[in-house]
Amino acid sequence: MTVYTLDPLLDPRWATLVDTHPDASVFHTTEWLEALRQAYGYEPVAYTTSPPGAGLSNGIVLCRINSWLTGRRMVSVPFADHCEPLLDGSLSGRRALLAALKTAVEREHYGYVELRPRTPDLLAHDGVEPSASYVFHSLDLRPSLEKIFAGFHKSTIQRNIRRAEREGLEYEDGNSEALLRKFYGLMLLTRRRHQLPPQPIQWFRNLITCLGVRLTIRVASIRGRSIAGMLTLSHGQTVVYKYGCSDAEFHHLGSMPFLFWKVIQEAKALQMKELDLGRSDSDNPGLITFKGRWGATASTLTYVRSSARPAGTKQERYGVHHLARRAFTLMPDRVLTTAGRLLYRHIG
């Protein structure tokens, strides 16, 4: 079976496939791919068994990453928690696409191709190996708001939401530059606390420009001081929690549960069916427990590779050594943001 390649930013058939395929997410969209291209220079490519001129029945989208620091590779897709191959049920088509990716690794001298499926189906195929595993949480938004609220952990979620409401936390949403700056200030605090540099503010500006109203920033404040922020994306009937940040000094006010509850209420009003809470590292029990307390369903995300060499360690995959992480906590804001601007294009 012949496999073809196309540029998803130029070929309108890709957007049509994303709009109609049940497994498509915001991470498949041309808007996400364009934001990656603008911010980091990643070149997108899609593989399909559909010939030129025909509508696409399947496709796997990837970005080419050419880094002197972390090597040459293709990833489906960078900075996405998951990106399911958009297949049509044909086993021969799936095999052909995976074989074409393996050939690309060898012919174009990539270190590996990495796929980030939401389902484990690809693990059964020869030529791929697991490269990383995460815990993924998803909340079903189809029940009534009353039933959803009743499913929250009483002492840590319900009580904190009520505490935030009693405290009179202020709430803003939108995607203005002013709101982005409030969000980014909180992102700096949070990433420093986690011993990591933040992604550059231009990445978030590109997301806003490319995704428009499908991106929402939410900020909670008290007496005019921003204390928690969240960035969500939407596609179809799914809202995706992508980034969250907060001032730890005010955690006792329940600001993050307050924002999550706002997201859920607004998603219900728009008749959304799922809140995608994203992935958590398997060695981060605190975050896993927090997401589980919303009544979310947990599953395993397993990324797979077709490689010229075995999958690396976690440190090799992300290029952040323990000693470097300690240094990030001591850097001034300007140096920390510069580190993020220099590093993230190599991480993908």
- Sorted by where each begins, the domain ranges of the chain are 4-134+302-347, 137-301
pLDDT digits (tens, 9 = 90+) for 21-43: 999 999 999 999 999 999 999 99
Confidence grade of residue 326 (pLDDT, cut at 50, 70, 90): low
Q: Phi then psi for 135, rounded to 5 degrees? A: -100, 130
DSSP string, 221-248: EETTEEEEEEEEEEETTEEEEEEEEE-G
Q: Are 282 and 260 in contact (CB under 8 A)?
A: no
DSSP string, 70-130: TEEEEEE-TT-S-B--B--S-HHHHHHHHHHHHHHHHHTT-SEEEEB-SSSGGGGSTT-EE
310: pLDDT strictly greater than 70: no
Confidence grade of residue 189 (pLDDT, cut at 50, 70, 90): very high
pLDDT digits (tens, 9 = 90+) for 150-163: 999 999 999 999 99
pLDDT at 311: 52
Q: From 213, 202, 205, select the one nearest 345 (Cα to Cα).
A: 202
Domain 137-301 has CATH 3.40.640.10: no
pLDDT at 314: 47
Task: Measure the CA–CA gap between 220 and 168, rounded to whole angstroms.
Answer: 10
Q: What is the signed CA dihedral for 181, 185, 187, 190, rounded to 10 degrees?
A: -170
Confidence grade of residue 250 (pLDDT, cut at 50, 70, 90): very high
Q: Would you state the structure tokens that stand for residue 220, as one six-digit string?
A: 């909670």
pLDDT at 104: 94
pLDDT at 330: 66
pLDDT at 245: 98
> What pTM, to 2 d.p., does this model score?
0.93
pLDDT at 312: 55
For residues 75 and 327, the model is more confident at 75
63: pLDDT strictly greater than 50: yes
Confidence grade of residue 324 (pLDDT, cut at 50, 70, 90): low
Q: Are 1 and 88 in contact (CB under 8 A)?
A: no
Q: Would you state the structure tokens that stand for residue 3, as one six-digit string?
A: 């496999």
Q: What is the mean pLDDT of the chain?
A: 93
pLDDT digits (tens, 9 = 90+) for 212-223: 999 999 999 999
pLDDT at 342: 87
Pairing of strands 112-115, 129-140: unpaired
pLDDT digits (tens, 9 = 90+) for 177-188: 999 999 999 999
Does residue 297 come out as left (phi exceeding 0), alpha (psi in the -120 to 50 range) or beta? beta
DSSP string, 256-279: HHHHHHHHHHHHHHTT--EEEEEE
Residue 243's beta-bridge partner residues? 231
Task: Measure the CA–CA gap between 79 and 128, rounded to whole angstroms.
Answer: 21
Q: CATH number of the domain at 4-134+302-347, out of 3.90.550.10, 3.30.70.240, 3.40.630.30, 3.10.310.30?
A: 3.40.630.30
Pairing of strands 238-246, 274-281: parallel
Q: Would you state the structure tokens that stand for residue 186, as one six-digit string?
A: 């909180």
Residues in the chain: 348
Q: Are 255 and 227 in contact (CB under 8 A)?
A: yes
The average pLDDT across 336-348 equals 87
The average pLDDT across 297-321 equals 71
134: pLDDT strictly greater than 80: yes
Confidence grade of residue 313 (pLDDT, cut at 50, 70, 90): very low
Q: What is the DSSP letter of 54?
A: S
296: pLDDT strictly greater than 90: yes
Confidence grade of residue 117 (pLDDT, cut at 50, 70, 90): very high
Question: Same CATH fold, 137-301 and 4-134+302-347?
Answer: yes
